[in-house]
Amino acid sequence: MLIQSIEALWRAAEALQRPVVASRAPGVPVEEVEAVFGRAVPGDVTTWFGWSNGVAYAPGQVQDDAALVPGYEPLSVREAAAVRDGYGSDDPVLGDFYVPLLATGGGDFYAVVCERAPEHPPVAHVMIGGETDIVYPSVGAMVEAFCRFYRNGVFFVSDEGTLEADDVRWVAQESGARPSG
């Protein structure tokens, strides 16, 4: 089930003593998610926001403190709506209705493409100034991949104490390619 996978992802971050775990904002009910987006949303989206409504911010917090995966922080429902409104709906991969889940400070984000499947829609990765690609067949597949990346060392804590990624392996696995070497 998706909720167990989400819990496992947060436990993986906790095992590496990531500050985001202590900053996780409590989840919100389905009604709040739907009120913010003005329509019904897929169950995977409400499950995601039901577990965590983003990160509570504190004085002195840096972006790495809020990262659940390297460079990407979980969004609150309102932040997700703001990212969506700021990006627009003219991306043919995303279609007219999508919900961002994770984003960087630079504008890149992972989003559920709601119109592609009613209950378990795929997840796209949006790179500002780059291409938008469907990278996971569902939120569950994304979360399970991120858990695997923690287990396999694709995501790790650097000597400086920041959450980092082996970008070659991460991109290769998301694109379905095998890393060279």
Encode pLDDT of 61-102 as tens digits.
899 999 999 999 999 999 999 999 999 878 999 999 999 999
Q: How confident is the model at residue 14 (pLDDT cuts 50, 70, 90)?
A: very high
pLDDT at 28 over 70: yes
The token pair at 50 is: 């039901």
Q: Distance (Å, rounded) from C-alpha 125 to C-alpha 135?
A: 6
Say which residues have a Cβ less than 8 Å from residue 3's Cβ, sequence separation at least 6.
Answer: 47, 50, 51
pLDDT at 60 (0 to 100): 87
Closest CA to 63 of 118, 105, 4, 10: 105
Distance of CA 122 to the CA centre of its chain: 12
Question: How confident is the prediction for the chain on average, in pLDDT?
Answer: 93
For 12: left if phi > 0, alpha if psi spans -120 to 50, otherwise beta; the answer is: alpha
Q: Distance (Å, rounded) from C-alpha 46 to C-alpha 27?
A: 9
Q: How confident is the model at residue 180 (pLDDT cuts 50, 70, 90)?
A: very low
Q: Distance (Å, rounded) from C-alpha 130 to C-alpha 143?
A: 23
The values of phi and psi at residue 157, to 5°, are -95, 125
